[in-house]
Structure 1
Amino acid sequence: MKKFIETVKNIWSIEELRNKILITLSFMVIYRFAAQVTLPGLDGSVIADSLNSNSGGAGGILDMINMFTGGGFSRASVMALGVMPYISASIVVQLMGIAIPYLQKLKKDGESGNKKITQITRWLTIGITLVQGPAYIASLPSLGIPAEAFIMGQGNTLFWITSLVLLTTGSIFAMWLGEKITDKGIGNGISLLIMIGIIAGFPSAFAQEFASKTTNGGAGGIMMILIEIIVWFAVILACVYLVTAIRKVALQYARKTVAGTVTDVAGSRQYIPLKLNAAGVMPIIFAQAIMFVPSALVTADFTSEGVKSVAAMFADFSGVGYNVLFATLIIIFSFFYTAITVPTNEMAASIKRSGGFIPGIRPGKETDNYLDRILSLITFPGSIFLALLAILPAFVIKFGVQQSWSMFYGGTSLLIMVGVAIDTIQQINSHLLNRHYDGLMKTGTKRKSVA
């Protein structure tokens, strides 16, 4: 505890780090404030009463989007779409970078190419928002917004125009906030905005679970709450392991000669860190999007009763069929997304150019094959672990846990919170290592910054 307090003091004593943290917190507060502003033409008090009387969720991708936006999606806020259009645009650009030569060229152009890709992503974000905005406005009644909440009427032209403009503006503003946090603050801005949206639903979810177990003769009482908290911490530890686990591939560099001088780096070993879960939470997001199709088929009028019955089985969030298919899709997408984001051929070429080699493996094609085989071997258990965490909320519901609280037992929400927290802490540690050596290490002296 004493070391933790000392570390906090060291963080606050570094002006640059202190300012970055304050800027990050300020922007996050602004984002949360904007998420509470209801679209003009809607009665916020009526929506709030409707949400209080219907605290449960239907599960699926709509609940995931609502969690990512901190409740703004179900509240019909000006930030209802949040950073989701930007995330969609980023995924599209990343996937298109495999097939479109122009984007491939931009990736190789360094900083200038990255700026152009960022600009393309921004414009695509606006385009996606202009498509998602009208769809969201039209689906407000099906999302639980009562008819009496529409002051001007849902079909009013002015309501549609102002809502679409504000939804687009809200997404652009969220994107701008995320980029500013990344540039001026600490951590990845977009990820932090998603995380703060998820955390915003934590108090109410826990309060509902606590009330269900302790009031009106609820099953379990305080003891059951304690057991749930212990299990929750165990799941968090499992998530930390999944996010941080790596397979170290030994790497060695040959002896180099520069202008007649021999630089002896032979024998100095390094390693290539291959992550157990290189795909992150993307497989869950992709799989969740596909699992939304059965829900759409259930409500479609043109489908037969047989198709509807099968679709209803797979649309049940806690059903066996849903979770088996969901886990299978996650495993498939884990391999797919890892193959896209971890180009072993480029890694092998880079190692060869720098004069490095993996002991016992020839540079070039053999190195590529070796890295690809290692990556496939570690991706399989990583994908199974990820799938188990993703379907864990469905299991805890069977034990009487409220659905809103069960979402924090795994899946996208918990993995994002753990991943973002680890990334942010690592960035803070980097600043501390540069200025306060004693803040993190057992030995050494405190280094003073040079003005």
Structure 2
Amino acid sequence: MFQTLKKAWGVPEIRKKILYTLFMIIVFRFGCAVAVPFLNTDVVKSWMDASGANNGGFLDYMNTITGGAMSQATMFSLSITPFINASIIMQLLTYALPPLERMRDEGEEGRKKIDKITAFVAMVLAVVMSYGYYLILKNRAHVENENGITYALKYSSGGEGVFAAFVIIACFVAGALIVVWMGNRISDKGLGNGISVLLFAGIAARFPTDAALLVKLTKDNPSKYLFVSLGYLLFIIFEIAFIVFMNEAERRIPIQYAKRVVGRKQYGGQKTHIPIKVIMSGVMPIIFAMSFMSLPQTIELFAGDPKKASGFYYNFVKFFSTRGWGYATIYFLLIIAFNYFYVSIQYNPVEIANNLRQSNGGIPGIRPGKPTSDYIQRVLNKISLVGAIFLGFIAVIPIFMGMADKQLQALSMGGTTILIAVSVALETTRTLESHLMMRHHKGFLQ
């Protein structure tokens, strides 16, 4: 990767793209520090820390991908989360709604239409999420100090309250739309994959905080956390290497095309393969499972503190606590289920078998038609199980670490964040390699 970056820096055109991308990342990080009017950011941060923004739950995940902006209630508090949610919704609807499916099959024009619909859905989600975040800050975000209770909202009543609400919600929505605009500019004028690059920037911004926490724990209790910190760093290195290996791993189904003679020329007879990646669904199953498991925490944010209640509500929230075995088990099983679901909507064995038959191709030793589709389905089931178990273990590792030591719950390096960061880094490296190949290709005439 570093060798590819060195070669890309030597090409003036690619260097301009790299510098433009870095400039947008710097602007993004500045936006994550711009305070929203009428909000007491210190109170928001204290409340977020006390409410689960560092215990491996959904709030922790949201705070990590925004680079810590959500815990400080800054302009980019929502970051790219509305766009990611809109993209997931539209991707699922293209398989469920025939009009969207026809748009997808129209090629470039259809993709542009779907992108416009996605942008509109993202804007609607940004408004809804901003209003919900405002209500949570208004009703729940407060801390108790020596002078009494300090609320996150500086103005919370009368006409000033209405104006403050409008300004706060407008700032959150504007910040989300600006982030999407910056991602599109990176895709057009930068290295590409703008949304993924900003997501990587938000995650990477949390790494120094984790390093500082490990240093602090080691200084306070060196006899215990010195070996814990070293072991954790070695584990992160091993995890990155294993994620890279699994991300590149694939199962290749051999394909043989039949020979046919047309006049004096012979066509076909080539041997190729169908690559099936072990982690073809990426991080999507984890996001789906995390969204489902965040429902009890979302209910808790709006309904109130379960410690002040009793009965079913208290037991329900306690069972779905991120520090319990029940949460980890259900989370793991949901990831496996959602991985199978996502693979099923991506791969259609019957369609692949029909395409092979029409092109006079087939799998050696497997008859065309239904036997071919059944064989592909069996391979998909095995590969999906391996990928799902891998994703499940990656996702629950931080939960087990938090259960072993509460001090390590605030660490964001590990599990899902490492998986996202490594995937984006590999994707960016491939983009740089493609740019280099286009500018150093000698051509067919030499």
| Counterpart Cα distance in 2 of 1:309 and 1:405 | 24
Q: What do residues 38-59 of structure 1 show as CA deviations (whole Å, max 9, x unaligned)?
A: 1122244665677799996243
Residue in 2 that maps onto 1:19? 16
Given that 2:207 and 2:412 are in contact with CA atoms closer than 8 Å, whether structure 1 keeps it comes out as no
Residue in 1 that maps onto 2:163? 158
- SS class of match (1:408): coil
Q: What do residues 277-333 of structure 1 show as CA deviations (whole Å, max 9, x unaligned)?
A: 222111111111111223345564799834234323333212111101110111111
Give the C-alpha shift of residue 135 in structure 1. Answer: 0.5
Given that 1:106 and 1:116 are in contact with CA atoms closer than 8 Å, whether structure 2 keeps it comes out as yes
Residue in 2 that maps onto 1:176? 181
Given that 1:106 and 1:114 are in contact with CA atoms closer than 8 Å, whether structure 2 keeps it comes out as yes
Superposition pairs of residues 79-90 of structure 1, within 5 angstroms: 79-90=76-87
User: In structure 2, which of residues 252, 255, 258 is the aligned counterpart of residue 248 of structure 1?
Assistant: 252
Q: What do residues 235-268 of structure 1 show as CA deviations (whole Å, max 9, x unaligned)?
A: 112222222211111122233566x4625441x3
AA partner of residue 190 (structure 1): I
Q: What do residues 164-195 of structure 1 show as CA deviations (whole Å, max 9, x unaligned)?
A: 22222221111122122222222421111111
Q: What do residues 73-112 of structure 1 show as CA deviations (whole Å, max 9, x unaligned)?
A: 1111111111111111111111112221101111111111
Give the C-alpha shift of residue 129 in structure 1. Answer: 1.4
- SS class of match (1:160): helix
Alignment CA distance shift 1:154-1:231 (3 Å) = farther
| Counterpart Cα distance in 2 of 1:81 and 1:112 | 30
Superposition pairs of residues 85-124 of structure 1, within 5 angstroms: 85-124=82-121
AA partner of residue 244 (structure 2): V
| Counterpart Cα distance in 1 of 2:53 and 2:80 | 24
- SS class of match (1:277): coil
- The percentage of aligned residue pairs carrying the same residue is 33
> What TM-score comes out, normalization by structure 2 length?
0.88
Given that 1:435 and 1:449 are in contact with CA atoms closer than 8 Å, whether structure 2 keeps it comes out as no
| Counterpart Cα distance in 2 of 1:212 and 1:417 | 25
Residue in 2 that maps onto 1:443? none
1:344 aligns with 2:352: no
Alignment CA distance shift 1:167-1:449 (3 Å) = farther
| Counterpart Cα distance in 1 of 2:267 and 2:385 | 39
User: In structure 2, which of residues 425, 428, 434 is the aligned counterpart of residue 430 of structure 1?
Assistant: 434
Moved more, 226-235 or 111-120: 226-235
Superposition pairs of residues 45-444 of structure 1, within 5 angstroms: 57-141=54-138, 144=141, 147-153=150-156, 156-215=161-220, 217-255=221-259, 260=263, 262-266=265-269, 268-296=270-298, 300=303, 305-400=310-405, 402-403=407-408, 406-410=411-415, 412-435=416-439
| Counterpart Cα distance in 1 of 2:362 and 2:310 | 61
AA partner of residue 294 (structure 2): F
| Counterpart Cα distance in 2 of 1:166 and 1:56 | 22
Moved more, 18-27 or 300-309: 300-309
AA partner of residue 338 (structure 1): V
Given that 2:296 and 2:317 are in contact with CA atoms closer than 8 Å, whether structure 1 keeps it comes out as yes
| Counterpart Cα distance in 1 of 2:157 and 2:422 | 40
AA partner of residue 271 (structure 1): H
Residue in 2 that maps onto 1:444? none
> What TM-score comes out, normalization by structure 1 length?
0.87
Q: What do residues 215-250 of structure 1 show as CA deviations (whole Å, max 9, x unaligned)?
A: 2x3443534322221111111122222222111111
Moved more, 113-122 or 315-324: 315-324
- SS class of match (1:140): helix
Which sections of structure 1, spanning at least 5 residues, go unmatched? 438-446
Which sections of structure 2, spanning at least 5 residues, go unmatched? 144-149
Moved more, 116-125 or 304-313: 304-313
Compute the RMSD of aligned alpha carbons: 3.0
| Counterpart Cα distance in 2 of 1:246 and 1:44 | 47
Q: What do residues 351-388 of structure 1 show as CA deviations (whole Å, max 9, x unaligned)?
A: 34444322223344433222222111111121111111
AA partner of residue 234 (structure 1): F
Given that 2:55 and 2:409 are in contact with CA atoms closer than 8 Å, whether structure 1 keeps it comes out as no
Alignment CA distance shift 1:296-1:33 (3 Å) = closer
